[in-house]
């Protein structure tokens, strides 16, 4: 939305609407409703909302092990001694990690790439967290790398690259089964389908 298109409101309200309208999937009408809600909400709520937004920007970084979003140096999953550190599930983004975690069927660890290979968008192998994945390999530990990128063109290209990078190394490489529909997105896939996809993963 262009700055200055909202008229009829006092400047602070216009500024709030304009900023809210920059959020993904939020148009001017929705931004206006949200702004009105915030305006009429208790002052404590507005302050807490503002503090939460600032807190996310100031306190959230990437886990030094798996690159998941984390408040500290390591995320809660990597710090969990009950996790199988020799089974690493590779996902595109943190929201895919959350989707798998919600199934409750996976007790290994993760590695977040923060993207996929997409030449049209100018994203290549060097833009992904691939070096961090390689550094986690431990010969002789019987590790398994589960590639759980999305089943679309970019996800498949990234999966093939990872399989190529790991070829010849002392590690088992598998790909999640296609209970997940081709062209789908993990964060929108139901829990049962995700669980079965992990259970029936195949070799690469």
pLDDT in tens, 181-203: 777 788 888 887 788 788 777 77
| Domain 11-59: which CATH number of 1.10.8.420, 1.10.10.10, 3.90.700.10, 2.30.30.40 | 1.10.8.420
- Per-residue pLDDT tens over the stretch 2-55: 444 566 899 999 999 999 999 999 999 999 999 999 999 999 999 999 999 999
| Residue 111: φ, ψ to 5° | -140, 120
Q: What is the DSSP string of 111-127?
A: EE-SS--BGGGTB-GGG
Instruction: Note the pLDDT of residue 197.
Output: 80
CB 116 within 8 A of CB 128: yes
Q: What is the CATH number of domain 72-203?
A: 3.40.1360.10
Instruction: Note the pLDDT of residue 3.
Output: 46
Could you tell me which of 28, 22, 24 has the C-alpha nearest to residue 8?
28
User: Is the per-residue pLDDT at 144 higher than 90?
Assistant: yes
| Residue 70: φ, ψ to 5° | -150, 150
Least confident of 22-26, 27-31, 92-96, 119-123: 119-123
Sign of CA dihedral 142, 161, 178, 91: positive
Domain boundaries, the chain: 11-59, 72-203
Task: Give dist(CA 150, CA 110) in Å, integer.
Answer: 15
């Amino acid at each position: 939305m262009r700055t200055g298109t909202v008229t009829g409101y006092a400047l602070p309200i216009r500024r709030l609407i304009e900023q809210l309208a920059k959020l993904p999937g939020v148009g001017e009408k929705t931004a206006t409703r949200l702004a009105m809600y915030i305006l009429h909400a208790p002052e404590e709520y507005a302050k807490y909302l503002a503090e939460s937004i600032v807190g996310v920007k100031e306190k959230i970084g990437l886990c030094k092990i798996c690159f998941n979003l984390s408040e500290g140096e390591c995320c809660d999953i990597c710090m969990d001694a009950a996790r199988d550190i020799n089974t690493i599930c590779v996902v595109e983004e943190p929201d895919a990690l959350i989707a798998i975690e919600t199934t409750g069927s996976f007790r290994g660890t993760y590695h977040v790439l923060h993207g996929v290979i997409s030449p049209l968008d100018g994203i290549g192998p060097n833009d992904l967290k691939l070096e961090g994945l390689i550094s986690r390999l431990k010969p002789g530990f019987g590790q398994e790398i589960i590639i759980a990128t999305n089943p679309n063109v970019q996800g498949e290209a990234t999966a093939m690259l990872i399989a190529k990078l790991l070829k010849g190394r002392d590690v088992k490489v598998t790909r999640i089964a296609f209970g997940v529909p081709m062209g789908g997105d993990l964060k929108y896939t139901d829990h049962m389908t995700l669980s079965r996809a992990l259970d029936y993963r195949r070799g690469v």
